Amino acid sequence: MAKITYVEPGGVERVVEGHVGESAMEAAVRIGVEGIDADCGGACACATCHGYIDAAFMTIVPPMKENESEMLEVVEDARRPNSRLLCQIPITEQLDGLVIHVAGRAR
């Protein structure tokens, strides 16, 4: 397990014990993180699980594949160097302590 903190668009922090093997998107959906809609169910086809990965973990998460990069070209919120689709981040023990800022504005 890995403890992950999600910072919702309005600033509320939600903490979850992520299960190794599930995606950061699945863990967020499981606890109802605001701003993670996951419309495509994790198929990397909708960009509704856009988040900003804490800089300390950018070298730990797996590298971005081309299809994820293409999806990030069409995100509603600003793409940043630390932008990722959370469906493409498998949870590992090395991600314990990860902080993810959910893209979006307070709703």
* 74 part of a folded domain: yes
* Burial classification of residue 96, based on how many CB atoms lie within 10 Å of its CB (0-12 exposed, 13-18 middle, 19 or more buried): middle
Full domain range(s) for residue 59: 2-102
* 107 part of a folded domain: no
Rounded Cα distance, 105 and 45, in Å: 21
Our count of domains for the chain comes to 1
- In b/e form, how buried is each residue of 18-35, taking b as 16+ CB within 10 angstroms? beeebbbbbbbbeeebbb
Interval 65-103: pLDDT, tens = 999 999 999 888 889 999 999 999 999 999 999 999 999
* 61 part of a folded domain: yes
Interval 18-40: pLDDT, tens = 999 999 999 999 999 999 999 99
Rounded Cα distance, 26 and 105, in Å: 21
Interval 51-75: pLDDT, tens = 999 999 999 999 999 999 999 998 8
